[in-house]
Amino acid sequence: MTRLLLTRGVFALAVCAMASAASADVRLPKIFSNHMLLQRGLDAPVWGWADAGEEVSVQFAGLTKAATADANGKWMVRLQSLEASSEGRSLIVKGKNTITLTDVLVGDVWICSGQSNMEWATRSVINAQGEIKAADFPNVRLFDVPGHKTAATAQNDVPGGTWQRCNPGSVASFSAVGYFFGRHFHRETGVPVGLLGTNWGGTRIEPWTPPAGFRSVPELKGIADQVDRFDPTTDAGKATWNAHLKDVEGWVAKTRSSLATGNGVSNPPTSPGFTNAGQPTAIYNSMVHGLAPYGVRGALWYQGEANGNEGVSYFHKMQALIEGWRKVWGQGDFPLYFYFVQLADFQKSNDSPEGGDGWARIREAQRQSLTIPHTGMAVITDIGAANDIHPRNKQDVGQRLALWALRDVAKKDVVPSGPLFKTIKVEGAAIRVHFEHAANGLIVGQRKNGLESTPVVKDGTLKRFAIAGEDKKWHWADAKIDGDTVVVSSKEVPKPVAVRYGYTMNPTGANLYNKEGLPASPFRSDDW
């Protein structure tokens, strides 16, 4: 064992010596590679490392920008207001050495993040073989952060990855939701699209969130305090780290003594959260922080199953995630749009008009997250499967996310969502429900069959509406479409005060759509 430790020590010294000898070379983060795509309309950051005081220049698209590496060897330039371009050009970085990156495009860049439904690969969707065969889009570029990695502190670079052109070989293992989003946006606009995949199945929202996010939401002070205790950039965090390092030093001394006497080696000490993938910020530190401040247009987020027992607390965590990423990217007046997927229908249907079971409350928290500026939500309660937490129809998920981008970024005249609850008005023994995204009218729809369009049910009956009076007792209601509103009533409730729709884990039969064929989000008008 002693010989092994000595060998490792010599190897480590050799590595350090080689790193020192190579320190004069200008280096770039892994997010910069051949075939990359830079964000249009933004003073796009390009950064890296060199010797302290070294002069570095960056040339691209007729621009030349220069910077001097600071005392830590960090340098950055910004390429001003690049216009979208499908022309593959070279980006040249010069210091004591020269780096030339080829086939660089300019367009819109989107982060694709979340848990397994975002990680779900194109090779596993409906009609996967046909989709992969047709995936020849040279002006769509893919970058996948390899996982799954955590870190106790924010890392200056991601674990790996390289930009690739979108083709059958690269798209098969890439996020299906991300790909179908990018494909639809690119087809509709002609703008080149870059997709940054960073995802991890089964993860909660907390480890994806930066410290600044938790600190920005008063309701999450408990988590913020926990993060601060283990953040070595704060005074409290330094104290915790020093105590941890003292424990480690004691373990090293004890291990040396054990080796000398031939005894076994005990496990090294750990501090709470340092090695736990569930620790707040741990995945962000490793798989997101190193991407910033690479210019992006926005983020796509499909997560929530792992936080599925939550309600309003998830809304607060969405605030922390979104505002935290925006602070880290620091794009100012160039907003980082954030589009997310509401959880699909899943598991057994509940026939109680009260609902509130399973994912009902977290869907409501997701709907509430639309109050955060520059956000959008894809409703998919019509494409899930009771026996599968991973709906195979990722095409509609990506396309519905893309509708928001087409409206917000491309400024196209599209309806980005199905009906979203707006307000209610009591009219005698009935309640009139008003919606957003229903201006062209509402319909009774039939559940989608695979990738086919939503069938219209003429003279159909709306289902899954419930109504309650001041006694807070819920009853199934009669619901009728009246233009762009729905009128809800029940003989059991002569003086109604509140309405719920599809407010259950699996709202089987929920069939309210707008005329664009997009489903209404489940909702409740009460806060009971």
346 contacts 356 by C-beta, under 8 angstroms = no
- Give the pLDDT of residue 229: 81
- Give the pLDDT of residue 23: 53
Domain limit, last residue, from 205, 240, 271: 271
Q: Is the pLDDT of residue 6 over 50?
A: no
pTM: 0.89
pLDDT, tens only, 437-461: 999 999 999 999 999 999 999 999 9
pLDDT, tens only, 78-130: 999 899 999 999 999 999 999 999 999 999 999 999 999 999 999 999 999 99
Tokens 């606009």, residue? Answer: 189
Residue 278 lies in a domain: no
Residue 50 lies in a domain: no
Exposed/middle/buried for residue 292 (C-beta within 10 Å: 0-12, 13-18, 19+): buried
Residue 26 lies in a domain: no
Q: Is the pLDDT of residue 21 over 50?
A: no
State the average pLDDT over residues 179-187.
98
pLDDT, tens only, 117-146: 999 999 999 999 999 999 999 999 999 999
Q: Is the pLDDT of residue 13 over 90?
A: no
The CA-atom distances, in angstroms, between 96 and each of 25, 27, 344 are 6, 11, 53
Same domain? For 129 and 212 the reply is: yes
- Give the pLDDT of residue 228: 86
- Give the pLDDT of residue 8: 38
Same domain? For 250 and 196 the reply is: no
pLDDT, tens only, 284-323: 999 999 999 999 999 999 999 999 999 999 999 999 999 9
- Give the pLDDT of residue 266: 57
Same domain? For 386 and 429 the reply is: no
- Give the pLDDT of residue 241: 60
- Is the backbone of residue 353 left (phi > 0), alpha (psi -120 to 50) or beta? alpha
Q: Is the pLDDT of residue 175 over 80?
A: yes
Same domain? For 386 and 468 the reply is: no
Residue 97 lies in a domain: no
Q: Quick one: pLDDT band at residue 187, thresholds 50, 70, 90?
A: very high
Q: Which residues contact 328 (CB under 8 A, 6 or more apart)?
A: 210, 212, 288, 289, 292, 293
12: Cα separation from own chain's centroid: 37
Q: Which residues contact 45 (CB under 8 A, 6 or more apart)?
A: 76, 77, 78, 293, 294, 295
Domain limit, last residue, from 408, 441, 460: 408
Q: Is the pLDDT of residue 383 over 60?
A: yes
Residue 478 lies in a domain: yes
Same domain? For 170 and 199 the reply is: yes
Same domain? For 167 and 200 the reply is: yes
pLDDT, tens only, 396-433: 999 999 999 999 999 999 999 999 999 999 999 999 99
pLDDT, tens only, 236-276: 667 776 676 576 567 667 766 665 565 555 555 554 443 33
Q: Is the pLDDT of residue 232 over 80?
A: no
Q: Which phi and psi angles does 252 have, rounded to 5°?
A: -60, -45
How many structural domains compose the chain?
3
Helix (H), strand (E) at residue 198: strand 193-199
Same domain? For 251 and 353 the reply is: no
- Give the pLDDT of residue 160: 95
275 contacts 337 by C-beta, under 8 angstroms = no
- Give the pLDDT of residue 1: 33
Domain limit, last residue, from 363, 378, 408: 408
Same domain? For 194 and 170 the reply is: yes
Q: What domain range includes position 138?
A: 108-221+283-408
